[in-house]
Structure 1
Amino acid sequence: MKSKLTAVALAAVVVAGTAAAAVPASAAPAAPTRCHTADLKAGFATGGDAKPEMGQTKKQTQAYIWFTNKSKHACTMAGFAGVDMVGAQKTDGTWSLMRSAKKPPKMTLQHGDTVDFSITLLPVARSTAHKEKFVPAKFLVTPPNETTHFTLKWPFGGQILKQDGATHPGTYIDPVGL
């Protein structure tokens, strides 16, 4: 009888100890929410190999824009940024860049983490007719799934073949993280 009572008491202690150690659902860490514009900083990558070759006109080149999580919490990001180029010439207007066919990855950015995306550009010579070239002045960059943008001054000079109405333009963006 004594061993049965001891076994029952011991089982009650084990169950009680387990229950006391369980973390209530409300105290469990929340899954990160998506990154909002206010959580981020943005800019052009300007290091040596990150600069687009705007002086050549024989091939496409890439510029890179980065986002850094400046918030104190982790956040997730997946998709394409919205990118509108604003031209320096009166005839340029604003050009909303098309997206590549690449599939965007989903990523979690911890405080201080940086991720970037590329813009493929098709530069043209200065001698190209005025109506056939777009001269970038600034870029309006909206993080994925957001409506508020960053305004970034174009730091690289040069001009791009104007294909703002093309179905498959030589200037387009890749998803964030690729």
Structure 2
Amino acid sequence: MLGKRITIGVAAVAGAFALAACSSAAAAPRPAAAAPAAAKTPRCTTADLSLSLGKPAEKSDAPGQFDVPLTYKNVSNHTCGLYGVPGVDLVGPDDPTFGPVYHLPRVDNGVKYNEVTPGMTATATITVLTPAEGGKSWTPTKLNTIPPGQTRALTADWPSDLPVLRQDAATHPGTYVNGILADPS
């Protein structure tokens, strides 16, 4: 009986200490986590940006696949954040199977955060698979892109000599848009 009373007494004391520790921890103010500097910089809006497409370059490790730089320039008078993967639609002739718009899949392989000062740029790359020789050809006329976190699009003319293999229903298509990377200052 004495052993049972000691066990209960020890449990009661331990419980009291635990309760006291919890209540004092709850009452003690916790230091606020410092917000990263990036969180203070607003995202770039569509109105903050201009758009240009660079010259397509064939990938050395994948014949028939090209990279097209999709470059956003901060035309505002303030620094803004540009990161993530933009939405990209290629628009061209009406394909009998898929229609006139090819919604490109996104690959999130860009930088986690990127501040773009006025006049500077950031680039996402569009990887394009061209049709095999003699294959069905579809050449877009323009590109519409929505910067990450925005709802309004920017438009650019598509290079007239760069056909795209339409793979709208493919699980792993050869044409897609990559995440935004910081351009060197």
TM-score (norm 2): 0.68
Q: Which residue does 1:60 correspond to in 2?
A: 65
SS in 2 for 1:134: coil
Q: Provide closer, same or farther for how the CA distance between residues 134 and 104 of structure 1 changes in structure 2, counting only shifts above 3 A.
A: farther
**Gap runs ≥5 in structure 1:** 1-29
Residue-pair matches, total? 140
Query: Which of 127, 131, 151 is the equivalent residue of 1:124?
Result: 131
RMSD: 2.3
**Gap runs ≥5 in structure 2:** 1-38
Residue 82 of structure 1, CA deviation: 0.5
Q: Which residue does 2:113 correspond to in 1?
A: 106
Using the alignment, how far apart are the partners of 1:52 and 1:75 within structure 2? 29
Using the alignment, how far apart are the partners of 1:172 and 1:138 within structure 2? 16
TM-score (norm 1): 0.70
SS in 2 for 1:78: coil
What percentage of aligned pairs have identical amino acids? 32
The one-letter code of the counterpart of 1:114 is: T
Q: Provide closer, same or farther for how the CA distance between residues 156 and 177 of structure 1 changes in structure 2, counting only shifts above 3 A.
A: farther
The alignment status of 1:40 with 2:49, answered yes or no, reads: yes
Superposed CA deviations along residues 12-57 of structure 1, whole A, max 9, x for unmatched, are xxxxxxxxxxxxxxxxxx93211000011111013xxxx2349xx9
Residue 126 of structure 1, CA deviation: 6.2
The alignment status of 1:168 with 2:172, answered yes or no, reads: yes
Residue 90 of structure 1, CA deviation: 5.0
Residue 93 of structure 1, CA deviation: 1.3
Indicate if the aligned counterparts of 1:125 and 1:159 stay in contact, CA closer than 8 A.
no
Structure number with bigger Rg: 2
